[in-house]
Amino acid sequence: MITVKDIIEFVSDGEKFNFCCSAFLDSFYAAVDQQRIEMIKDEPEAFPDVEHFYYCHVAAMTHKLANDFKLIVPEWVHKEKYILTEPHYDVFDKNNEILKKYLEDVSPYEFKIRNIFVKENALDRV
């Protein structure tokens, strides 16, 4: 069972962030509620070589999953350090203002409050 804390540790060890998140989400969706609580309860450790964005994204993901599955939202996700100072848009073309506006409209609340703009189904798995 992979935890949100593990995601950041694996990234620090050289794993790709998106791969780690996908593995976590697959495990989370297959788990039962008690396992899900265990998977999100612990705040990731700080590693100097891990991008700040990854911590913010993990906090947003944890917050959304807790809300979606009606779990207690861990207190650590509400820390101000998990809010980006500059907006981050999940787009390849950083100049595409139409797509940015679209993401601002559809991003889940838990991401928006952290200045992260993603598709409404960003946590869906196929």
- Determine, yes or no, domain membership for 113: yes
* Cα separation of the two ends of the chain: 19
The pLDDT-based confidence of 49 (bands split at 50, 70, 90) is very high
- Determine, yes or no, domain membership for 21: yes
* pTM > 0.75: yes
- Determine, yes or no, domain membership for 111: yes
- Determine, yes or no, domain membership for 126: no
- Determine, yes or no, domain membership for 82: yes
- Determine, yes or no, domain membership for 122: no
> HSE of 17 in the Cβ direction (CA atoms, 13 Å)?
12
- Whether 104 shows a pLDDT value over 80: the answer reads yes
- Determine, yes or no, domain membership for 43: yes
Eight-state DSSP code of residue 116: E
The pLDDT-based confidence of 95 (bands split at 50, 70, 90) is confident
Structural domain boundaries, residue 59: 4-117
What is d(CA 71, CA 66) in angstroms, rounded to the nearest whole number?
5
Sign of the CA dihedral with 103 first, then 107, 110, and 112 last: positive
The number of distinct structural domains making up the chain is: 1
Q: Are 97 and 86 in contact (CB under 8 A)?
A: no
Q: What residues pair up with 117 in beta bridges, in sequence order?
A: 89
How do residues 13-34 score in pLDDT, each as one tens digit?
A: 999 999 999 999 999 999 999 9
- Determine, yes or no, domain membership for 123: no
